[in-house]
């Protein structure tokens, strides 16, 4: 089992939006970074733990615990001309972009980025590194354990 931090803009899909979806599950669509795509396509497995992170908002931070609930499959938005995620180079025979399904485990009190930075146990966390803008980053099992055991309320 692996652990991930997955960022979503609340204006696109918030933790409350996820909670309101059928089966509290969302396809993690629209990723257009090759490294993040490769994490989903090559490394994520059903059952992996996810920290659902609100980004690009007034108060960024971890808003929930989720899990990966599917293996990777082609992101349908890459084929839709009307989608902002359309990719003219992608074809159904050779898709370029993938997503996984993510299912809510529980909504939590927001753990802000400033709260995360206060803990030396998390100093190596990729999301906290200067210049890291990836929407999906792996978590060390020790980081997952510290966050879920000491910071989740």
The pLDDT of residue 147 is: 98
93, 47 in Cβ contact below 8 A? no
According to DSSP, the residues that pair with 17 across neighbouring strands are none
Question: Which of 38-52, 95-109, 124-138 has the weakest average pLDDT?
Answer: 124-138
Residue ranges of domains in the chain: 3-130
Task: Decide if pLDDT at 133 tops 90.
Answer: no
* 3-class SS shares of the chain: helix, strand, coil, % to 5: 30, 30, 40
Task: Decide if pLDDT at 48 tops 90.
Answer: yes
| Pair of tokens at residue 76 | 């349908």
18-46 pLDDT per residue, tens: 999 999 999 999 999 999 999 999 999 99
Q: Which of 88, 87, 80, 4 is nearest to 38 (CA)?
A: 4
Matching CATH number, 3-130, of 3.40.50.720, 3.90.550.10, 3.10.590.10, 3.40.50.300: 3.10.590.10
| Pair of tokens at residue 148 | 């879920």
143, 125 in Cβ contact below 8 A? yes
Task: Decide if pLDDT at 65 tops 90.
Answer: yes
Displacement of CA 18 from its chain's centroid (Å): 12
| Pair of tokens at residue 8 | 């979503």
What are the CA-CA distances from residue 67 to residues 33, 35, 64, 106, 131 (Å)? Answer: 21, 20, 10, 10, 26
Which residue reads 């899990």 in tokens?
67
Task: Decide if pLDDT at 132 tops 90.
Answer: no
**0.85 cut: is pTM over it?**
yes
Three-state secondary structure call for residue 142:
helix
Task: Decide if pLDDT at 131 tops 90.
Answer: no
In sign, the C-alpha dihedral spanning 57, 125, 34, 2 is negative
Task: Decide if pLDDT at 122 tops 90.
Answer: yes
In sign, the C-alpha dihedral spanning 6, 138, 113, 85 is negative
98-121 pLDDT per residue, tens: 999 999 999 999 999 999 999 999
């Amino acid at each position: 089992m692996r652990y991930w931090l997955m960022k979503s803009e609340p204006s696109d899909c918030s933790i409350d939006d996820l909670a309101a979806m059928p089966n509290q599950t969302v396809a993690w669509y629209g990723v257009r970074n090759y490294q993040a795509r490769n994490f989903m396509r090559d490394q994520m497995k059903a059952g992996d733990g996810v920290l659902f992170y609100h980004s690009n908002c007034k108060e960024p931070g971890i808003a929930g615990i989720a899990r990966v609930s599917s293996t990777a499959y082609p992101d349908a938005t890459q084929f839709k001309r009307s989608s902002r995620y359309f990719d003219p180079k992608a074809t159904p025979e050779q898709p370029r972009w993938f997503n996984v399904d993510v299912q809510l485990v529980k909504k939590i009190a927001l753990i802000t980025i400033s709260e995360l930075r206060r803990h030396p146990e998390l100093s190596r966390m990729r999301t906290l590194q200067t210049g890291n803008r990836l929407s999906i980053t792996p978590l060390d099992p020790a980081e997952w354990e510290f966050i879920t055991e000491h910071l989740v309320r």
